[in-house]
Amino acid sequence: MIEIKGVAKLFKSGQKKIKAVDQVSLNVEKGEIFGVIGYSGAGKSTLIRMINQLERQTEGEIWIDGVPISRLSSRDLRVKRQKIGMIFQHFNLLWSRTVFDNIALPLEVANVPKSVRQERVHELIRLVGLEGKEQQYPSQLSGGQKQRVGIARALANQPTVLLCDEATSALDPKTTDSILELLKDINQKLGLTIILITHEMHVIQKICDRVAVMEEGRVVELGQVLQVFKEPKQQITKDFVKQITESSEALEAQAEWNIAEGKVVQCHFLVQTSGQPILSKLIRSCDVDVNVVQGKINKLKDSSYGTLFLHLTGSEAEINRAIQFLQEQQVEVEVLVG
Ligand SMILES: Nc1ncnc2c1ncn2[C@@H]1O[C@H](COP(=O)(O)OP(=O)(O)OP(=O)(O)O)[C@@H](O)[C@H]1O
């Protein structure tokens, strides 16, 4: 649905040249929620802004629904852009316009007749849960409500693609989750393709089907979110996954582990294995004592992923046998201590 082929962007500021995006090629499927994660300066904003040509690439091509958007004339681009919605970190609302009028703006620009416009705005207000706020101004709304206006406005012309540029970065964790739920709901109800950029793995974990990890303008890792969680390959990806699997409390607790004997292992297991009595089977099959030090389950978009820290004591041979047993049950095991 969206094909990004060998795209690069070179910025020139004075004598300096900055390659913000460097030979990125990606395909995003119709109806998918695709996340791009990276630290500040990785090139995420530049990449997403090239998808609707707010930024022109210096190399490569971008196709949306079979249309080479990167080659369109300004006039054709204006029309095509109506089918590509975008939301922003700081909402970009017009402060002098009410909620109703902010949402109506793209319909006015597209010359939609007033009666159709009114009906459509009411429909959008219901979709994003802002009933009763129609006549309020952005300054009277909470951050989450402002982003709901941003989402409604972005959906006004029934786009096929929604681009989200750090859409939850200015929001507190609870509001972030409610906006992510809304995006997931819209994706399912409208079959909308969503591309989002973020520096938070939590966002990727909650709603994305696939993720691309960006570093220094390049995509260094790409895959299904579950696969990337299970087997992060690059160090940067491992660090992002740790944002989720190792909370600061967990790290503090680890510092207090006083392991005089045995081994501490970190186990990663999927929801398919979590229904099985793996630990009791382990204790019955191997002559080891098992102490659960810490555990956590992360809910991904359509599945779950568990992390369990076990302290195993017994003879070296039996501990190794226990590790092998866990691996045979499709549990991934990493020895942390011992
Ligand atoms: N208009 C511009 N002119 C010159 N350099 C730019 C411009 N826009 C971005 N850059 C540079 O390109 C690189 C990538 O920036 P970009 O904003 O795409 O990264 P990012 O991953 O979105 O980071 P952030 O989350 O901080 O916005 C950075 O080094 C940035 O300084």
Which ipTM did the prediction report? 0.96
Cα 6 to ligand 1 centroid, rounded to whole Å:
19
Q: Long-range pairs for 255-263 at CB < 8 Å and ≥24 separation?
A: 257/293, 257/311, 257/337, 259/311, 259/337, 259/338, 261/313, 261/338, 262/288, 262/289, 262/311, 262/312, 262/313, 262/314, 262/319, 262/338, 263/311, 263/312, 263/319, 263/323, 263/335, 263/336, 263/337, 263/338
Helices (H) and strands (E) in the chain, counts: 13, 14
Q: What is the DSSP letter of 73?
A: -
Which pLDDT belongs to residue 119? 96
Q: Are the CB atoms for 160 and 129 separated by under 8 Å?
A: no
165 lines ligand 1 (CB under 6 A): no
46 lines ligand 1 (CB under 6 A): yes
Q: Provide φ and ψ at 215, rounded to 5°.
A: -145, 130
Residue closest via CA to ligand 1's atom 25 equals 40
**What are the C-alpha distances in Å from 162 to residues 34, 146, 188, 189?**
10, 17, 13, 14
pTM of the model: 0.85
Alpha-carbon distance of 295 to 312, in angstroms, equals: 15
Q: Dump pLDDT digits (tens) for 143-167.
A: 999 999 999 999 999 999 999 999 9
Which residues does the chain have with pLDDT short of 50? Answer: none
Cα 46 to ligand 1 centroid, rounded to whole Å:
6
Residue closest via CA to ligand 1's atom 17 equals 45
Alpha-carbon distance of 167 to 88, in angstroms, equals: 5
Query: Which of 195, 135, 127, 180 minimizes the C-alpha distance to 155?
Result: 127
Cα 312 to ligand 1 centroid, rounded to whole Å:
48
Q: Tokens 């958007």 appear where?
A: 69
Cα 13 to ligand 1 centroid, rounded to whole Å:
12
42 lines ligand 1 (CB under 6 A): yes
3-36 burial, b for 16+ CB within 10 Å, e for fewer? bbbebbbeeeeeeeeebbbbebebebeeebbbbb
Name the amino acid, one letter, at 303. Answer: S
